[in-house]
Amino acid sequence: MKILQINSSVRGAASESTRVASNIVARLTAANPSAQVTVRDLGANPHPVLDGAALGALFTPADQRSADQAARVAQDDALIAEAQAADVIVIGAPMYNFSMPIQLKAWFDAVARAGVTFRYTETGPEGLLKNKKVYVATARGGIYPADADPQVPQIRMLLNFLGMTENEFIYSAGLAMGPEAAAKGQAEADAAVAALA
Protein backbone atom coordinates (compact mmCIF):
# COMPACT_ATOMS: atom_id res chain seq x y z
CA MET A 1 0.00 0.00 0.00
CA LYS A 2 1.20 3.48 -0.89
CA ILE A 3 -0.20 6.31 1.21
CA LEU A 4 0.05 9.98 0.28
CA GLN A 5 -0.58 12.42 3.13
CA ILE A 6 -1.25 16.00 2.06
CA ASN A 7 -1.17 18.64 4.79
CA SER A 8 -2.45 22.08 3.83
CA SER A 9 -2.57 23.96 7.12
CA VAL A 10 -0.19 26.87 7.70
CA ARG A 11 -0.24 26.24 11.47
CA GLY A 12 2.51 23.62 11.49
CA ALA A 13 2.60 21.50 14.64
CA ALA A 14 -0.45 23.36 16.01
CA SER A 15 -2.66 22.22 13.13
CA GLU A 16 -5.71 20.17 14.06
CA SER A 17 -6.32 18.99 10.50
CA THR A 18 -2.73 17.73 10.29
CA ARG A 19 -3.13 15.99 13.68
CA VAL A 20 -6.23 14.16 12.51
CA ALA A 21 -4.70 13.34 9.11
CA SER A 22 -1.61 11.94 10.84
CA ASN A 23 -3.84 9.84 13.10
CA ILE A 24 -5.58 8.41 10.04
CA VAL A 25 -2.22 7.53 8.51
CA ALA A 26 -1.09 5.96 11.79
CA ARG A 27 -4.21 3.79 11.85
CA LEU A 28 -3.68 2.73 8.23
CA THR A 29 -0.02 1.87 8.78
CA ALA A 30 -0.84 -0.07 11.96
CA ALA A 31 -3.10 -2.27 9.85
CA ASN A 32 -0.59 -2.35 6.96
CA PRO A 33 2.93 -2.30 8.46
CA SER A 34 4.60 -2.51 5.06
CA ALA A 35 2.79 0.59 3.76
CA GLN A 36 4.92 3.31 2.22
CA VAL A 37 4.02 6.84 3.30
CA THR A 38 4.80 10.04 1.43
CA VAL A 39 4.04 13.33 3.17
CA ARG A 40 3.49 16.50 1.15
CA ASP A 41 3.31 19.52 3.47
CA LEU A 42 1.79 22.32 1.44
CA GLY A 43 1.67 24.62 4.46
CA ALA A 44 5.41 24.47 4.99
CA ASN A 45 6.26 24.21 1.28
CA PRO A 46 3.45 25.77 -0.77
CA HIS A 47 3.07 24.77 -4.39
CA PRO A 48 3.04 27.77 -6.75
CA VAL A 49 -0.42 28.95 -7.70
CA LEU A 50 -1.72 28.68 -11.22
CA ASP A 51 -0.91 31.96 -12.96
CA GLY A 52 -0.46 33.19 -16.49
CA ALA A 53 3.12 31.96 -16.76
CA ALA A 54 2.19 28.49 -15.52
CA LEU A 55 -0.77 28.29 -17.89
CA GLY A 56 1.45 29.39 -20.76
CA ALA A 57 3.96 26.67 -19.89
CA LEU A 58 1.26 23.99 -19.79
CA PHE A 59 -0.11 24.99 -23.19
CA THR A 60 3.33 25.16 -24.82
CA PRO A 61 4.36 21.87 -26.48
CA ALA A 62 6.97 20.08 -24.36
CA ASP A 63 9.69 20.33 -27.03
CA GLN A 64 9.14 24.10 -27.33
CA ARG A 65 9.21 25.04 -23.65
CA SER A 66 11.87 27.29 -22.24
CA ALA A 67 13.93 26.04 -19.31
CA ASP A 68 11.73 28.02 -16.91
CA GLN A 69 8.55 26.64 -18.47
CA ALA A 70 9.85 23.07 -18.31
CA ALA A 71 10.78 23.52 -14.65
CA ARG A 72 7.32 24.90 -13.84
CA VAL A 73 5.52 22.00 -15.54
CA ALA A 74 7.85 19.55 -13.79
CA GLN A 75 6.63 20.87 -10.43
CA ASP A 76 3.05 19.96 -11.36
CA ASP A 77 4.21 16.65 -12.84
CA ALA A 78 5.69 15.68 -9.47
CA LEU A 79 2.35 16.20 -7.70
CA ILE A 80 0.50 14.26 -10.38
CA ALA A 81 2.96 11.36 -10.13
CA GLU A 82 2.48 11.20 -6.35
CA ALA A 83 -1.29 11.10 -6.72
CA GLN A 84 -1.14 8.49 -9.47
CA ALA A 85 1.15 6.24 -7.42
CA ALA A 86 -0.92 6.41 -4.22
CA ASP A 87 -3.45 3.76 -3.23
CA VAL A 88 -4.73 5.92 -0.39
CA ILE A 89 -4.67 9.71 -0.11
CA VAL A 90 -5.14 11.43 3.25
CA ILE A 91 -5.80 15.16 3.07
CA GLY A 92 -5.63 17.57 5.98
CA ALA A 93 -8.04 20.36 5.05
CA PRO A 94 -8.70 23.15 7.53
CA MET A 95 -11.49 25.56 6.74
CA TYR A 96 -10.20 29.07 6.02
CA ASN A 97 -12.90 31.68 5.46
CA PHE A 98 -15.48 29.03 4.54
CA SER A 99 -13.27 27.31 1.97
CA MET A 100 -10.16 25.21 1.59
CA PRO A 101 -6.75 26.87 2.04
CA ILE A 102 -5.20 28.35 -1.10
CA GLN A 103 -2.38 25.85 -0.57
CA LEU A 104 -4.81 22.95 -1.12
CA LYS A 105 -6.53 24.67 -4.04
CA ALA A 106 -3.11 25.07 -5.68
CA TRP A 107 -2.63 21.30 -5.30
CA PHE A 108 -5.93 20.59 -7.03
CA ASP A 109 -5.08 23.10 -9.77
CA ALA A 110 -1.76 21.34 -10.35
CA VAL A 111 -3.17 17.81 -10.32
CA ALA A 112 -6.22 18.48 -12.51
CA ARG A 113 -4.77 18.14 -16.02
CA ALA A 114 -6.86 17.30 -19.04
CA GLY A 115 -5.78 14.08 -20.74
CA VAL A 116 -3.75 13.01 -17.70
CA THR A 117 -5.94 12.97 -14.59
CA PHE A 118 -9.27 13.56 -16.34
CA ARG A 119 -10.60 13.58 -19.87
CA TYR A 120 -13.67 14.79 -21.69
CA THR A 121 -15.80 12.16 -23.38
CA GLU A 122 -19.04 12.16 -25.38
CA THR A 123 -20.91 11.52 -22.14
CA GLY A 124 -19.06 14.13 -20.08
CA PRO A 125 -15.84 14.33 -18.06
CA GLU A 126 -14.19 11.16 -16.76
CA GLY A 127 -11.77 11.17 -13.86
CA LEU A 128 -8.64 9.09 -14.38
CA LEU A 129 -7.36 8.88 -10.78
CA LYS A 130 -9.46 5.82 -10.06
CA ASN A 131 -9.30 2.99 -7.52
CA LYS A 132 -8.07 5.18 -4.67
CA LYS A 133 -9.46 5.67 -1.20
CA VAL A 134 -9.39 9.26 0.02
CA TYR A 135 -9.78 10.43 3.60
CA VAL A 136 -10.21 14.15 4.24
CA ALA A 137 -9.55 15.43 7.76
CA THR A 138 -11.36 18.73 8.13
CA ALA A 139 -10.90 21.18 10.98
CA ARG A 140 -13.16 24.16 11.47
CA GLY A 141 -13.90 26.76 14.11
CA GLY A 142 -17.67 26.41 13.84
CA ILE A 143 -20.19 23.65 13.35
CA TYR A 144 -21.92 23.38 9.99
CA PRO A 145 -24.85 21.10 9.14
CA ALA A 146 -24.35 18.90 6.10
CA ASP A 147 -26.78 20.92 3.99
CA ALA A 148 -25.00 24.19 4.76
CA ASP A 149 -21.33 23.17 4.76
CA PRO A 150 -19.47 25.60 2.48
CA GLN A 151 -16.24 23.61 2.17
CA VAL A 152 -16.91 19.89 1.86
CA PRO A 153 -19.04 19.98 -1.34
CA GLN A 154 -16.26 21.77 -3.22
CA ILE A 155 -13.56 19.33 -2.12
CA ARG A 156 -15.82 16.34 -2.81
CA MET A 157 -16.70 17.69 -6.27
CA LEU A 158 -13.02 18.07 -7.17
CA LEU A 159 -12.17 14.58 -5.90
CA ASN A 160 -15.09 13.03 -7.79
CA PHE A 161 -14.19 14.97 -10.94
CA LEU A 162 -10.71 13.45 -10.83
CA GLY A 163 -12.09 9.93 -10.36
CA MET A 164 -11.50 9.64 -6.61
CA THR A 165 -15.11 8.85 -5.81
CA GLU A 166 -14.39 6.72 -2.76
CA ASN A 167 -13.88 9.59 -0.33
CA GLU A 168 -14.65 9.92 3.36
CA PHE A 169 -14.63 13.07 5.49
CA ILE A 170 -13.74 13.21 9.17
CA TYR A 171 -14.68 16.37 11.07
CA SER A 172 -13.04 18.16 13.96
CA ALA A 173 -15.53 20.97 14.49
CA GLY A 174 -16.34 23.72 16.96
CA LEU A 175 -12.68 24.50 17.60
CA ALA A 176 -13.29 28.24 18.06
CA MET A 177 -16.40 27.86 20.21
CA GLY A 178 -14.63 27.50 23.54
CA PRO A 179 -12.55 24.79 25.25
CA GLU A 180 -15.47 22.44 25.87
CA ALA A 181 -16.72 22.56 22.27
CA ALA A 182 -13.16 22.18 20.94
CA ALA A 183 -12.50 19.15 23.14
CA LYS A 184 -15.79 17.61 22.00
CA GLY A 185 -14.94 18.20 18.34
CA GLN A 186 -11.49 16.66 18.74
CA ALA A 187 -12.91 13.67 20.60
CA GLU A 188 -15.47 13.09 17.85
CA ALA A 189 -12.73 13.22 15.22
CA ASP A 190 -10.60 10.76 17.19
CA ALA A 191 -13.57 8.41 17.57
CA ALA A 192 -14.22 8.55 13.82
CA VAL A 193 -10.57 7.68 13.12
CA ALA A 194 -10.70 4.80 15.62
CA ALA A 195 -13.78 3.45 13.85
CA LEU A 196 -12.14 3.33 10.42
CA ALA A 197 -12.14 -0.14 8.90
Q: Is residue 155's pLDDT more than 90?
A: yes
Structure confidence by residue, pLDDT tens digits, 28-74:
999 999 999 999 999 999 999 999 999 999 999 999 999 999 999 99
Residue 106 has pLDDT above 90, yes or no: yes
Q: How many CB atoms lie within 10 A of CB 72?
A: 20
> Considering Cα of 40, then 42, then 47, then 51, what sign does the dihedral take?
positive
Q: How confident is the model at residue 124, as a pLDDT?
A: 93
For residue 168, count other CB atoms closer than 10 A to its CB: 12
Q: pLDDT digit string (tens) for 6-33?
A: 999 999 989 999 999 999 999 999 999 9
pLDDT of residue 146: 86
Look at residue 169 and tell me whether its pLDDT is greater than 80.
yes
Give the CATH number for residue 76. 3.40.50.360
Residue 172's domain spans which residues? 2-194
Q: Is the pLDDT of residue 197 over 90?
A: no
**To the nearest whole number, what is the mean pLDDT of the chain?**
97
Helix (H/G/I), strand (E/B), else coil: 109:
helix
Buried b (16+ CB within 10 A) or exposed e, 23-49: bbbebbeeeeeeeebeebbbbeebbee
Number of domains the chain contains = 1
Mean pLDDT, rounded, for 176-190: 97
